Structure 1
Amino acid sequence: MNVHEQIPEAQAQTSARFYEALDVTASFDVLTEPSHYKPVPNDWFVGTADIVNSTGEIANGRYKTVNMVGAAVISAIANAIGSNTFPYVFGGDGASFALHVSQREIAERTLADLRRWASEKFDIELRAAIAPAPDIRQAGVDVRVARFAASSGADYAMFAGGGLAWVDEQMKAGHMMVGLSDPGAEPDLTGLSCRWTNVQAEQGEIISLVVLPTSGASERDFADIAQRVVQAIGGLNRAGHPVPVNGPRVGWSSPGLNLEAHSLRGRMPVWLFKCSLFFKTLFSWTLFKTDLNVGSFDPVHYKRMLSANADYRKFDDGLKMTLDCDPKTRAKIEAILSEAETRGKIRYGLFAQSEAMVTCFVPSAMEDDHVHFIDGAAGGYAQAAAQLKT
Structure 2
Amino acid sequence: MEAFYRQLTGFTDIAQIADGRFYRPVPDDWYVSVVDVRGSTEAIERGNYRNVNFIGAAAITAQLNLVNPGLPFIFGGDGATVLVTEAMRNNTLNVLQSLSYHARESFALELHAGLVPVSTLRAMGKELQIAKYLSGEFVNQAMFKGGGMTLAETLVKNSAEFRCEPRPVFSKTEIFSGLTCRWQPVPSGNGVTLSILIQPRDENDATVLPRVIARIEHLLGGSFASANPIRMDNARYHSFLHNLKRQLQASDIRCNRVFFRTLYELMMTVPLFNLKGFRWIPGMQSYVDRVPLHCDFKKYDDTLRMVLDCSPSGYRAIEEYLQSEQRLGRICFGIHVSDAAQMTCYVESMSDGGHLHFVDGTDGGYALAAKQLKQALSDSETQSA
1:99 is displaced (CA, Å) by 1.8
Aligned mates of 1:184, 1:109 — CA distance in 2: 6
Q: 1:67 aligns with which of 30, 42, 53?
A: 53
TM-score, normalised via structure 1 length: 0.87
Return 53-62 or 251-260, whichever deviates more.
251-260
Q: Which residue of 1 aligns with 2:382?
A: none
Aligned mates of 1:380, 1:156 — CA distance in 2: 20
Q: 1:97 aligns with which of 60, 66, 82?
A: 82
Q: Which residue of 2 aligns with 1:113?
A: 98
- 1:384 lines up with 2:356 in the alignment: no
Amino acid at match of 2:249: H
1:73 is displaced (CA, Å) by 0.5
1:221 is displaced (CA, Å) by 3.6
Q: Which residue of 2 aligns with 1:193?
A: 180
Return 363-372 or 302-311, whichever deviates more.
363-372
- 1:374 lines up with 2:362 in the alignment: no
- 1:174 lines up with 2:140 in the alignment: no
Amino acid at match of 1:102: A
Distance 1:136 1:234, change over 3 A: farther
1:24 is displaced (CA, Å) by 2.5
Distance 1:257 1:351, change over 3 A: farther
Question: SS of 1:389's equivalent?
Answer: helix
Structure 1, unpaired ranges of 5+: 1-14
Aligned mates of 2:322, 2:199 — CA distance in 1: 10
TM-score, normalised via structure 2 length: 0.88
Q: 2:288 aligns with which of 296, 299, 303?
A: 303
Q: Which residue of 1 aligns with 2:338?
A: 353
Q: Which residue of 2 aligns with 1:317?
A: 302
Distance 1:308 1:248, change over 3 A: farther
For residues 187-212 of structure 1, give each alpha carbon's deviation from its aligned partner in whole angstroms, at most 9, with x where no partner exists.
Answer: 53221001012111111211111112
- 1:336 lines up with 2:325 in the alignment: no
- Aligned CA RMSD, in angstroms, stands at 2.5
Structure 2, unpaired ranges of 5+: 376-385
Distance 1:222 1:323, change over 3 A: closer
Aligned sequence identity (%): 29
For residues 207-248 of structure 1, give each alpha carbon's deviation from its aligned partner in whole angstroms, at most 9, with x where no partner exists.
Answer: 11111233687344445434433444353673411112x465
Question: SS of 2:162's equivalent?
Answer: coil
Q: Which residue of 2 aligns with 1:212?
A: 199
Q: Which residue of 1 aligns with 2:10?
A: 24
Amino acid at match of 2:225: R
For residues 157-202 of structure 1, give each alpha carbon's deviation from its aligned partner in whole angstroms, at most 9, with x where no partner exists.
Answer: 1111111111111122125433224357535322100101211111
1:281 is displaced (CA, Å) by 1.7
Say whether the 8 Å CA contact 1:305–1:368 is kept in structure 2.
Answer: no
Say whether the 8 Å CA contact 2:95–2:170 is kept in structure 1.
Answer: no
Say whether the 8 Å CA contact 2:22–2:132 is kept in structure 1.
Answer: no
- 1:365 lines up with 2:350 in the alignment: yes
Aligned mates of 1:257, 1:214 — CA distance in 2: 46
Amino acid at match of 1:260: Q
Q: 2:189 aligns with which of 197, 202, 217?
A: 202
Say whether the 8 Å CA contact 1:196–1:252 is kept in structure 2.
Answer: yes
- 1:152 lines up with 2:137 in the alignment: yes
Aligned mates of 2:337, 2:256 — CA distance in 1: 36
Distance 1:194 1:214, change over 3 A: same
Distance 1:304 1:105, change over 3 A: same
Q: 2:25 aligns with which of 19, 24, 39?
A: 39
Aligned mates of 2:243, 2:150 — CA distance in 1: 30
Count the aligned residue pairs: 370
| Pairing of 1:220-369 with structure 2 (within 5 A) | 220-235=207-222, 238-244=225-231, 246=232, 248-253=234-239, 255-263=242-250, 265-266=251-252, 268-269=253-254, 276-288=261-273, 289-291=276-278, 298-369=283-354
1:303 is displaced (CA, Å) by 0.5
